[in-house]
Structure 1
Amino acid sequence: MKHSLSAAILVVLLAASGHAADGHDVHHAAAAVAEASLSEGTVKKVDKTKGIVTLAHGPLLNLAMDPMTMAFAVKDPAWLLQWKQGNRIRFFADMVKGRLVVMRWEPLP
């Protein structure tokens, strides 16, 4: 009986560790999608009080959105101090709790 119980526990632990490793590939795939989904935009307005930036942007492929001008929340409010009207950026936006959020960005020349 002890051997059966030990074997059963071993099987469960091995299955769980294999399961944990499976999810690791998903993170790499998500990062690849994020990289491929960078969009370009121009800062139209920065509202530090509301914590939003208005961008005229190209297509947001990961969100299936056409080019338009719209407001985004930002992952890091300190970014709002770096942006000025007319700045061009490349960025990744995603839907977070029902809001469009700039998750990362880099300046464009």
Structure 2
Amino acid sequence: MNYKTLTLTLLLGLATHTSLQAEEMMSHEGHDMNQMGDMQQMEGMKEGVMTKGIITRIDEANGKVGIKHEAIANLKMPPMTMVFRVADPALLKDLKVGDAVRFHAENPAGKLTVTAIQRG
């Protein structure tokens, strides 16, 4: 084996080893990050992450409420004004148009639903 062949063999071996190490590290990092994201999302669900908004309309008869809201993190929804169903019409009791609120919304069966709401 001459010097060039030996050098090339060593470099290829090193490149392959380094590439495998990098790939292994990335898969572990990604796994850890996914676990952390899952944990944060589960904590958010347990805590019922609240979103700020302003009541724009109340329709107690149909169990709906209009809210101009900030981004809803758990639904990955940007800020906007929209109408939500309410899980329980009693949630609308004592609320009026113009109230600042904090609420939690979910999307069961494709129907955006407020599951908790409070003034604030």
The TM-score bracket by the shorter chain reads 0.5 to 0.7
* Structure with greater proportional strand content: 1
Q: What stretches of structure 1 move > 4 A for 4+ residues in a row?
A: none
Q: Which has the larger radius of gyration?
A: 2
Query: What value does the CA root-mean-square deviation take over the aligned residues?
Result: 2.1
TM-score, normalised via structure 2 length: 0.61
Q: Which residue of 1 aligns with 2:58?
A: 46
Report the AA paired with residue 101 of structure 2.
I
What per-residue deviation string (whole Å, max 9, x for no partner) do you get for residues 3-29 of structure 1? Answer: xxxxxxxxxxxxxxxxxxxxxxx9xx6
Q: Counterpart of 1:33?
A: 44
SS of residue in 1 equivalent to 2:88: coil
Give 1:37 deviation, angstroms: 3.1
Which residue does 1:55 correspond to in 2? 67
1:94 offset after TM fit, Å? 0.4
Paired residues, number: 81
Provide the C-alpha distance between the structure 1 equivalents of 2:104 and 2:48, rounded to a whole number of angstroms.
Answer: 9
Q: Which has the higher contact order (CA 8 A, sep 6+)?
A: 1
Residues 41-70 of structure 1: CA deviation (Å, up to 9, x unaligned): 000000112210000000001111000000
Q: Taking every aligned residue pair, what percent have the same amino acid on both sides? A: 34
Structure 2: stretches of 5+ with no match in the other structure: 1-37
Per-residue deviation, residues 73-106 of structure 1 (Å, max 9, x unmatched) = 1111112222100111111100012110111122
Q: Structure 1: any 5+ residue segments left out of the alignment? A: 1-25
